Amino acid sequence: MAFDGLFTFALSKQLNKLLSGRITKIHQPNALEVILHVRANGENHKLLFSIHPSYARVHLTEQAIDNPSEPPMFCMLLRKHLEGGYIQKVQTEDFERVITFEIESKNEIGDTVFRKLTIEIMGRHSNFILIDSGTEKIIDSLKHLPPSLNSYRTVLPGQLYIAPPAQNKVNPSTISDDELKAFFADEKTAKEVVEHFKGFSTTHANELLFRIKQGDPVKSFHSYMSEIIRAANPTYLELNGKTYFSPTKLTHLSDEGTTFNNLSELLDRVFYARAERDRVKQQAGDLERWIQNEVNKLKLKLKKLQKELDNASKLDKYQLYGELLMANLYNFEKGLKEVTVVNYYSEDEEKITIPLSERKTPIENAQSYYTKYNKAKNALVMVQEQIEKTKQEIDYFEMLTAQVEQAAPGDIEEIREELAEQGYLRMRASKKKKKPTKPEPEKFISSSGIDISVGKNNKQNDYLTFKLAKKSDIWLHTKDIPGSHVVIHSSEPDETTLFEAATLSAYFSKARESSSVPVDYTEIRQVKKPNGSKPGFVIYFEQKTLFVTPDEDLVIKLKKK
């Protein structure tokens, strides 16, 4: 990745479209993200700030992000100081990974006040800080930094804001041509470029060196810096399992890659699945652990049941011992530890040795084996039933595991509700009583304009398949793989729609990372729910099968706004 000083500088230029924009709403989806709703130039925008240690960023987003029912304290503080305010300036200095928004707003008594919102994009040291412009004192921040953790600066309410330590490097926008000639007089490494110039990451340093080899160093340097600042070709590239993105083409890696209209669109694409997954982890970390523990316990139970089944399978031996002892009652007496008799049931009538209890008579020993036989026979039926039930439970929880892994934050509560209804969990106590709501499957629209719905959990799956869809609609599901119910709201979809719906089915399944995934499809009328089955479980008939490969780009393209 390359969210370095160059990228930050280019992004700040594009965020100037928010100048004079009014902050209408503020939300805080979780402990690491804040969203400002801004009305600027006749349009509504969502400005996302994130201080995630791996995905720290700021950009405009088109993604719908669920918010908690009760806003956190930091969100309430931002609303108090910023809602209704106007963005006056967006700036970053000297290619540092810091962007500051200067905002004019009103205080409680209606006086004009000025505030600064500063985001520091620095990996695990990232922070989001509200500052009083008049005093330069910190009002509050998402992450507090006491003196015990940092001797250079303190980030706490009431403290003077001190910017992160400046880099003692050359500013690439003010360097003279003579200095450039002198620096590039001999061959340089990416490390030397990074250590010499402000704002450069290894990715952008390698791209600069690649272009310099193609022509004059000074012209190549200025041309490249111009492309970066203008964000000429925002590019996203996946290569050898790694993700790269930049305000311009990364020709040293590949001539290919996906280009976007602006840097915000690029970042929305880069962090689409990663950020969504992280939001789910924050909301469902405990649920994931609980489900995994249940799976582990059930697998251990299955192992024990299998051992019991092996023991119960000896019932034929007990029956044989009992019958042979009854046939030889007068050939042995009480007090023996074992007796050897002829096995009349074997073809060659081989002899067999039967263990005995010394304290029992011959007939009591025979009856003992008959008793063991009857117990084993009953146990065999019960153990087989338990094994089948345990296997179904494991399938159910593994299906839930896949659903949690691919859920949006809003889907998690429905999974908790389902587990409570099934008697597995107690629902968390809530201060407010929530009104029952209908499940809302995720909506997509095919390239041909046909609506497609995807159930993201069992509540949504059952609602979609048995209440929302028509009998003539087309139903899809990955073959023998846990996944979502997908419905094409058409009785005769074209091939493109069918392929796209199958791709959605493969993507929202346990086979997301696989290729050539089998997806079954049939009419809704052919899908049935067995009596007493768990939520989400169905059987279906007269299906056909497609093989597709999950495609995240297609999922983003088809998602209904």
Q: Are 387 and 455 in the same domain?
A: no
- Reply yes or no on whether the pLDDT at 474 is more than 90: yes
> pLDDT tens-digit profile of 139-183?
999 999 998 888 889 999 999 999 988 888 999 999 999 999 999
Q: Are 448 and 410 in the same domain?
A: no
Per-residue CA distances from 406 to 111, 505, 516 (Å): 47, 12, 19
Q: Are 301 and 414 in the same domain?
A: yes
Give yes or no for a contact between 117 and 79, defined as CB atoms under 8 angstroms apart: no
Is 484 domain-assigned? yes
Is 278 domain-assigned? no
> pLDDT tens-digit profile of 421-430?
888 877 655 5
Q: Are 449 and 432 in the same domain?
A: no
Q: Are 294 and 421 in the same domain?
A: yes
Is 159 domain-assigned? no
Q: Are 291 and 429 in the same domain?
A: yes
Range of the domain at 94: 5-141
Q: Are 12 and 95 in the same domain?
A: yes
Is the model more confident about 222 or about 414?
222
Dist. CA 136–CA 79, nearest whole Å: 19
Dist. CA 342–CA 350, nearest whole Å: 6
Is 147 domain-assigned? no
Give yes or no for a contact between 468 and 476, defined as CB atoms under 8 angstroms apart: no
Q: Are 205 and 299 in the same domain?
A: no
Give yes or no for a contact between 278 and 55, defined as CB atoms under 8 angstroms apart: yes
> pLDDT tens-digit profile of 351-410?
889 899 988 988 999 999 888 888 878 878 888 889 988 998 998 888 888 888 777 766
| Measured distance between the N- and C-terminal CA atoms of the chain, rounded to whole angstroms | 27
**pLDDT band at 499, cuts 50/70/90?**
very high
Task: Measure CA 534 to chain center.
Answer: 24
Dist. CA 237–CA 439, nearest whole Å: 36
Dist. CA 215–CA 121, nearest whole Å: 33
Give yes or no for a contact between 139 and 81, defined as CB atoms under 8 angstroms apart: yes
Of 424, 508, 420, 415, residue with least CA distance to 458:
415
Give yes or no for a contact between 245 and 8, defined as CB atoms under 8 angstroms apart: no
Tally of structural domains, the chain: 4
> pLDDT tens-digit profile of 242-259?
889 999 999 999 888 889
Give the DSSP per-residue string, 233-290: S-EEEEETTEEEEESS--TTT-S--EE-SSHHHHHHHHHHHHHHHHHHHHHHHHHHHH
Beta bridge partners of 124: none
Q: Are 423 and 294 in the same domain?
A: yes
